[in-house]
Amino acid sequence: MNAVHVRIPGLLRSYTEGAERVDLALSGPALLGDGLAELDARFPGLRFRVVDEQGKIRPHIKMFVNAVQARDLATPLPPGAELMIVGALSGG
Amino acid sequence: MATARSRRSPKPTASRVTLLIATRKGLWVLASDATRREWKLAGPHFLGHIVHHAMIDPREPRTMLAAARTGHLGPTVFRSTDRGRTWKEAARPPAFTPESGRSVDHTFWLTPGLASQPGVWYAGSSPQGLFRSDDGGVTWSGVDGFNDHPQRKAWCGGDQDQTPDGGKLHSVLIDPRNPRRMYVSMSSGGTFESTDGGADWHPLNKGVKADFLPTPDPEFGHDPHCVRMSPANPDRLYQQNHCGIFRLDRPATRWIDIGGGMPKAVGSIGFPVVLHPRDADTLWVFPMDGSSVWPRTSPGGKPAVFRSTNGGRTWQRQAKGFPAAQGWWTVKRQAMSIDRFDGVGLYFGTTSGEVWASRDEGASWRPIARHLPEIYAVEAE
């Protein structure tokens, strides 16, 4: 079992009923894409707000795995990893 | 210039009017009774969301759809079945196929199907795509006949051909006599027709100016800003284009330039056009300055609506109640709407966050909301 701890930003808490942290139980070695699929299964619609239909992380969304920025969904999620999702919005 | 087919339709018996005000920072609702004297503002819904368009379903007026995204979160569609008290997100929002290589940046336009098409909605996206829902907006699928059309790429052009925040598919029109006949328009791209319910499409732009292209009277590549079908005569289309105002009377395929009667100092450039619900010869536009570097503000800082009652042959200025000077308004293509009362009400929203209303067919105007965010769309129902 691969436990991944997700920090949910305020902009996505309407999906998680306000939860700031969500723990995922993934089976075996997992990638960021697997973690987001599990997150979407529990909180339907969340994935499409942060990943487009081409599987790309949206332009003003950043994801960090153990504090290192993940550029694509093939980034490994090691056991016990912390996944941080951030909305990077600027301007008026 | 008016055709014999123009006619007046029966008047409705509505008792209230609701305006959905879609803005860059959320959705507001203005409501009034049939007198349209007092307005109540409610909202915001989706504060902080960019709401490009919101529509009340005329088939079941308790239902509303709103196309929204934020600066960081991707595009989706929200649906309410209790007049906006509660909202639920689409289970499958409009999205291109993985094989297409394209991604929806935002859903730009929403059109409900006909009364004979319960649950049907169409959506236009940026970049240009056409989507359909058969379950009231819960799940959406691409209209493959358009999105995968062999000519789509040629019709839509490249990045340099698009409006500043991306090319858009808008003005999805369905012939109420035959839902297999549809029209869509694109900025850029032009207007296109389907006669088989969306399986195939062809350009419908002859006669429309495109003075930013080197070819005279090109087949496509135009920039229609807003195209409407007359509720009183579905054979009649009007469009406010980047290059003027045009009318098409089907089955003709050549648009007629009807902007020549506008005052020279005002010109015929603008974004919205709205049509009288019962008189196919009456329409309104909100001209904007399309000279030099395209300020897109009221010409000379003197806001005015222009009305024609003869299909565009002549135009009358309507500005009673507007500032006489220093009014530098911009009204976007979805931000002007009309109700169906006797003595129709007209409404528009400005990018400076004001909503103006007329309850005497444009003869006089007053503000009914101020201090809102930048207004993208106003829809009356």
Q: Which of A58, A88, A91 has the CB atom closest to B74's CB atom?
A: A58
Length of chain A, in residues: 92
What is the pLDDT at residue B3?
A: 41
Instruction: Search chain B and give the residue with CA nearest A47.
Output: B74
What is the pLDDT at residue A8?
A: 97
Task: Express each pLDDT in A12-46 by its tens digit.
Answer: 999 999 999 999 999 888 999 999 999 999 999 99
Q: Which domains does chain A have, with CATH numbers?
A: 2-87 (3.10.20.30)
Cα separations (Å) of B348 from A13, B2, B275? 34, 26, 13
How many Å apart are CA B316 and CA B296, to the nearest integer?
A: 21
Q: Which domains does chain B have, with CATH numbers?
A: 16-380 (2.130.10.10)
What is the pLDDT at residue A29?
A: 86
Give the residues across from B360 on adjacent strands: none
Q: Which of A48, A51, A56 has the CB atom closest to B93's CB atom?
A: A48
Q: Min CA distance, B71 vs chain A (Å)?
A: 6
Task: List alpha helices for B136-259, DSSP H.
Answer: 144-147, 152-156
Chain A CB contacts of B96 below 8 Å: 53
Q: Min CA distance, B69 vs chain A (Å)?
A: 8
How many Å apart are CA B205 and CA B218, to the nearest integer?
A: 8
B99 touching chain A per CB within 8 A: no
pTM of the predicted structure, to 2 decimals: 0.94
Q: Which of B72, B77, B125 best probes binding to A when mutated, by most A CB atoms within 10 angstroms? A: B72
B44 touching chain A per CB within 8 A: no
Q: How many CB atoms lie within 10 A of CB B279?
A: 21
Whether the per-residue pLDDT at B209 is higher than 80: the answer is yes
Report residue B245 CA to chain centroid gap. 14
Whether the per-residue pLDDT at B6 is higher than 70: the answer is no
User: In this complex, do A58 and B73 lie within 8 Å of one another by their Cβ atoms?
Assistant: yes
Instruction: Search chain A and give the residue with CA nearest B46.
Output: A14
Q: Min CA distance, A48 vs chain B (Å)?
A: 6
- A3 phi-psi bin (left φ>0, alpha ψ -120 to 50, beta other): beta
Q: Min CA distance, A11 vs chain B (Å)?
A: 8
Whether the per-residue pLDDT at B9 is higher than 60: the answer is no
Q: Which of B25, B50, B73 best probes binding to A when mutated, by most A CB atoms within 10 angstroms? A: B73
Whether the per-residue pLDDT at B7 is higher than 70: the answer is no
How many Å apart are CA B129 and CA B149, to the nearest integer?
A: 11
Task: Express each pLDDT in B160-186 by its tens digit.
Answer: 777 778 899 999 999 999 999 999 999
Chain A CB contacts of B70 below 8 Å: 11, 87, 89
Best CA proximity match to B307, nearest among B249, B362, B242: B362
The 10 Å CB-count burial string (b at 16+, else e) for B96-118 is: beeebebbbbbbbbbbbbeeeee
Whether the per-residue pLDDT at B2 is higher than 90: the answer is no
Task: Express each pLDDT in B29-59 by its tens digit.
Answer: 999 999 999 999 999 999 999 999 999 999 9
Q: Which of A52, A53, A61 has the CB atom closest to B72's CB atom?
A: A61
Instruction: Search chain B and give the residue with CA nearest A11.
Output: B73
User: In this complex, do B76 and A45 lie within 8 Å of one another by their Cβ atoms?
Assistant: yes
Whether the per-residue pLDDT at B5 is higher than 70: the answer is no
Q: What percent of chain A stands above pLDDT 70?
A: 100
Task: Express each pLDDT in B63-102 by its tens digit.
Answer: 999 999 999 999 999 999 999 999 999 999 999 999 999 9
Question: Cβ neighbours of residue A24 under 8 Å, at least 6 residues apart?
Answer: A3, A4, A5, A6, A35, A38, A39
User: In this complex, do A60 and B96 lie within 8 Å of one another by their Cβ atoms?
Assistant: no
Q: What is the ipTM of this complex?
A: 0.92
Best CA proximity match to B10, nearest among B283, B237, B381, B277: B277
- Token reading at B264: 């020279």
Whether the per-residue pLDDT at B282 is higher than 50: the answer is yes
Task: At B156, give phi and psi (nearest 5°).
Answer: -80, -25
Best CA proximity match to B226, nearest among B171, B163, B178: B171
What is the pLDDT at residue B11?
A: 52
How many Å apart are CA B347 and CA B313, to the nearest integer?
A: 23
Question: Cβ neighbours of residue B178 under 8 Å, at least 6 residues apart?
Answer: none
How many Å apart are CA B142 and CA B123, to the nearest integer?
A: 9
What is the pLDDT at residue B1?
A: 37
- Token reading at B150: 């062999």
Q: Min CA distance, A23 vs chain B (Å)?
A: 22
How many Å apart are CA A10 and CA A33, to the nearest integer?
A: 21
3-state helix, strand, coil in chain B (%, to 5): 5, 40, 55
Calculate the average pLDDT of chain B: 94
Please give the residue that has the higher pLDDT: either A1 or B297: B297
Q: Min CA distance, B139 vs chain A (Å)?
A: 12
Instruction: Search chain B and give the residue with CA nearest A62.
Output: B72
Q: Which of A44, A54, A60 has the CB atom closest to B72's CB atom?
A: A60
How many Å apart are CA B90 and CA B136, to the nearest integer?
A: 10
Instruction: Search chain B and give the residue with CA nearest A44.
Output: B91
- The residue with tokens 């004297």 is B37
- The residue with tokens 């969500």 is A22
